Amino acid sequence: MRIPRIYVPETLRPGREVELPVQAGEHLARVLRLDRGHPLRLFDGSGDEYEAELASLAKRSVTARVLDSAEAEDRESPLRITLAQGIARGEKMDWILQKATELGVARIVPLITHRTEVKLDADRAERRLAHWEAVLASACEQCGRNRLPRIDEPVKLADWAAALDADADAGVRLALDPNGDANARDLVPAAQVTLVVGP
C-alpha cells in the first residue's frame, strides 16, 4: 500500500489534528479516494517526518491526525547550493524549481534580468512567490526531501549582485559560460556554491 507524503506548513507534533492544504486534501479525497484511517506521512519542512492517518474528509476540509514521529532519513545534499535563477516564463520556471528541489538545491533566488519577459508588480510577485513555494512543497513530497529549499523574493540581477559580497552563504560563485576558460572538473571542492543561470 502506497503511503502519501504531504507537506503541512505548520508545526507538527503527535496527538495533533491538522487541516491539510486544499490541493493535497482534494487529491487524497477525490483522486485517490482514500478513507478515514488511511496512513499518511506528514512533514513540515523542519527535517522531521510524522506518521499520521486521515481523520476526516469533508467537502471543503480534509484533516489528518498526527500519530507519532517517524524516523526521517536525511536526504539533504552536503553541498549547499544557492541557485540564482533568471525568471523563466510560465511552466518552464515551475519545471526549473521542481528539478532544482529534486537535485538538492538549498536556496533559490529568482532574478529579474534584462531579458526577463515576465513582468512582476508587487501584487503579482507575491502571488508568484506563493505559487513557487507550492511547487517546491510538491517536489519535496515527490522526491522524499523533508526540508523545503528557501526561495527569496524576486530581485533585480544588479541589486542581487551588489549584495553578493555581503552574503556569507555565497561560497564559490559560478556562472556557466559555454565559451568560458575554466572547466567544472578544475574547480576546488567547496561546501557552499552560488550558481547563477539566465532565463
Q: What is the reported pLDDT for 185?
A: 80
Contact criterion met (CB below 8 Å) for 9 and 142 = no
Which of the two residues, 15 and 169, has the higher pLDDT score? Answer: 15
Domains in the chain: how many in total?
2
- Answer yes or no: do 62 and 108 share one domain: no
The domain spanning residue 141 has which CATH number? 3.40.1280.10
User: In terms of domains, do 11 and 109 share one?
Assistant: no
The size of the chain, in residues, is 199
Distance from chain centroid for Cα 12? 18
75 inside domain: no
Q: Is residue 40 located within the same domain as residue 134?
A: no
In tens, the pLDDT along 91-105 reads 999 999 999 999 999
Output the nine-digit C-alpha cell for 129: 512567490
At 120, is the pLDDT very low, low, confident or very high (cuts 50, 70, 90)? Answer: confident
Residue 167 has pLDDT above 80, yes or no: no
Residue 93 maps to a domain: yes
At residue 1, does pLDDT exceed 80? no
Give a yes or no: residue 29 inside a domain: yes
Query: Average pLDDT of 127-138?
Result: 93
Confidence of residue 82 (pLDDT cuts 50, 70, 90): very high
pLDDT of residue 147: 93
Task: Give the residue from 3, 73, 74, 80 showing the smallest Cα distance to 42.
Answer: 3
CA count, 13 A, side-chain hemisphere, 114: 1
Considering just the CA atoms, what is the radius of gyration of the chain in Å?
Answer: 19
**Beta-carbon count within 10 A of 59 CB:** 7
| pTM of the predicted model as reported, rounded to 2 decimal places | 0.86
**Is residue 33 located within the same domain as residue 111?**
no
Q: What's the mean per-residue pLDDT of the chain?
A: 89
For 184, other C-beta atoms within 10 Å of its C-beta total: 8
Q: pLDDT at residue 14 above 80? A: yes
Q: Are residues 63 and 131 in the same domain?
A: no
Q: 91 lies in a domain?
A: yes
Q: Where is 111: in which H helix or E strand?
A: strand 107-112
Domain span including residue 15: 5-70
Q: Name the phi and psi angles at 161, rounded to 5.
A: -65, -40
**Has residue 170 got a pLDDT over 80?**
no
Angle at 198 between CA 196 and CA 199, to 5 degrees: 140
Report residue 188 as a C-alpha cell. Answer: 576546488
C-alpha closest to that of 89 among 47, 117, 64, 130: 117
Which has more confidence, 54 or 1? Answer: 54
Cα 122 from Cα 127, distance rounded (Å): 9
Same domain? 42 vs 117 = no
